[in-house]
Structure 1
Amino acid sequence: MDKFIHLKVKRQDNPDAAPRWEEFRVPYKPNMNVVSVLMEIRKNPVNAKGEKTNPVVWECNCLEEVCGACTMLIDKVPRQACSALIDKIYEKNGFGALIQLEPLTKFPVIRDLMIDRALMFDNLKKVKAWVNVDGSFAIGRGPRFPERTHRWAYIISRCMTCGCCMEACPNVNKKSEFIGPSAIAQVRLFNAHPIGEMHKEDRLDALIHKGGIQECGNSQNCRKVCPKEIPLTTHIAAMNKETVKYAIKRWLNS
């Protein structure tokens, strides 16, 4: 008897179109992930009713949980489609259980499961999440992180701007300009950098203005869904302490 994967996909033809649901049945093979199932649909775009349809649109690049592009809601949980193994899903929900795919809700939909993550990159610009290097000439090796700092800074550097933390955070919504957990953690990373530290106050200044760290409600959701297991709430707490010290210092000097 043939085995099938039953998929329910939330589709949207363009940013202004009304969303709709469409179901698919894909022949089961061991060791498939959600991306490989979507690829099977692309090869033969026929829905569960046997009707010809357009291939499902989604985004992916690395296929190894590095780029963050294939983030989507899989059974209501934000995660990467490349690392979402069908067999693991069935271990939890039972073989043949309906698998539901939706685009992230905190970002504009481009089409189907493909969303626009520009908001996250704009937030990184707000907090100057980079190390300034003046000139293109060779300046040799830069100063190194102290080892005790490097241990936690490296974990933050694994962030792939995937959007999982933004999706899970209740304070990221249409009524708020909150920059989100990942941008706050990046401030700590670049303020700890021996060269990036020179612009430390610029980043702290961005965090104390509208949409900054004061809008975090400490729900802890970001830490739970981070695919890289970055302890985001730990870094938010550290930056909360730093911004308070900076704000008091600025007030005393005004």
Structure 2
Amino acid sequence: MTEQSIHLRIRRQDRPDSTPYWQEFVISGRADHNIVSLLMALRENPVTISGQRVDPVVWEHNCMEEVCGACAMLINGVPRPSCSALVAELDQPIRLEPLPKFPVVRDLLVDRTRIDQGLKQVKAWIKIDGVWDTHEGAPRIGPSEWAANYLYSRCMSCGCCMAACPQFGAHSAFLGPAPLAQARLMNAHPTGRYDKTERLHAIMAEGGLSDCGNAQNCVRVCPKEIPLTTAIGELGRQTTVQLLKDIFGPR
């Protein structure tokens, strides 16, 4: 495939507390290049369109297989993993910006601690003592239930859904769609169900499920096509049942 000139417009920021600014670059690449490979090429010769040599652009990446979620950023105004964003699919100049709603560390690198905090708040893990016997005693899951749960297990905590959510951000305590979907996944697990009540109480508190405005932006941008709004709907029914249990259950 022949080389072509690719025009990049990158929003940069030197420090977390500094003012962002734009720089433009033209580099040689192919249509089958992805954004990560373009940034790698730019790192070798970081010269702006005006001929100024600058510091290499800072960003984060790891797997290059749309599995880790580390390379997510705003590409032409859409939050998505940069490893699966091909030049052939994008209009030029290609605008690269840090993932919104998260504090900028430098350039395209952001701090996604709030995702981890949300996962901790909903206890998005399974407690086990030791290892299950693989032949007997382990909980069983039917094929249909396994297939439904698998959809949510694909979440890579990239933050794209959070970036697109109008309710999530520095202005709000809202957990965001990713932790909520993981609460749904853990509540459906045979062992995870033991902590279901605690998870439901966590998402019934401030910043929980009731803060969702049902904008459905999250499900539109999810790179794994996770049915996030379905999870939120299921959790809504679960919290209603839990509320009735809290009111009318044994004291």
Bin of the TM-score, shorter chain as denominator length: over 0.9
Letter in 1 for 2:78: V
Alignment pair present for 1:99 and 2:94: yes
Which of 204, 209, 218 is the equivalent residue of 1:208? 204
Query: Any gaps of 5 or more consecutive residues in structure 1?
Result: none
Q: State the shift of 1:106 in Å.
A: 0.6
Instruction: Tell me what 1:40 maps to.
Output: 41
Alignment pair present for 1:252 and 2:248: yes
Which of 142, 146, 149 is the equivalent residue of 2:145? 149
Mapped partners of 1:133, 1:145: distance in 2? 17
Instruction: Tell me what 2:133 maps to.
Output: 140
Q: State the shift of 1:28 in Å.
A: 2.6
Letter in 1 for 2:24: E
Q: How does 1:49-198 map to 2 (within 5 A)?
A: 49-89=50-90, 93=91, 97-134=92-129, 137-141=130-134, 142-198=138-194
Quote the RMSD (CA, aligned, Å): 1.3
Secondary structure of the residue aligned to 1:25 is strand
Are the counterparts in 1 of residues 80 and 160 from structure 2 also a CA contact under 8 Å? Answer: yes
Q: State the shift of 1:146 in Å.
A: 2.0
Query: Any gaps of 5 or more consecutive residues in structure 2?
Result: none
Secondary structure of the residue aligned to 1:179 is coil
Question: Which digits, 9 at most, give the CA deviation of each residue in 1:146-189, with x for residues without a partner?
Answer: 22211110010000000010011000022210001111111111
Are the counterparts in 1 of residues 80 and 223 from structure 2 also a CA contact under 8 Å? Answer: yes
Moved over 2 A (4+): none
Instruction: Tell me what 1:236 maps to.
Output: 232
Q: TM-score, normalised by structure 1?
A: 0.94
Question: Which digits, 9 at most, give the CA deviation of each residue in 1:176-215, with x for residues without a partner?
Answer: 1000111111111111111111111010010100000000
Question: Which digits, 9 at most, give the CA deviation of each residue in 1:34-79, with x for residues without a partner?
Answer: 0111011101111111111000000000001000000000001000
Percent identity of paired positions between Structure 1 and Structure 2: 49
Letter in 2 for 1:10: R
Letter in 1 for 2:112: R
Letter in 1 for 2:124: A
Secondary structure of the residue aligned to 1:6 is strand
Question: Which digits, 9 at most, give the CA deviation of each residue in 1:196-239, with x for residues without a partner?
Answer: 11111010010100000000000110110000001110110010
Secondary structure of the residue aligned to 1:82 is helix
Secondary structure of the residue aligned to 1:150 is helix
Question: Which digits, 9 at most, give the CA deviation of each residue in 1:71-111, with x for residues without a partner?
Answer: 0000010001000000121xxx3xxx211000012101111
Letter in 2 for 1:56: V
Instruction: Tell me what 2:222 maps to.
Output: 226
Letter in 1 for 2:103: P
Letter in 2 for 1:112: D
Q: State the shift of 1:2 in Å.
A: 7.2
Q: TM-score, normalised by structure 2?
A: 0.95
Mapped partners of 1:66, 1:201: distance in 2? 31
Are the counterparts in 1 of residues 102 and 111 from structure 2 also a CA contact under 8 Å? Answer: yes
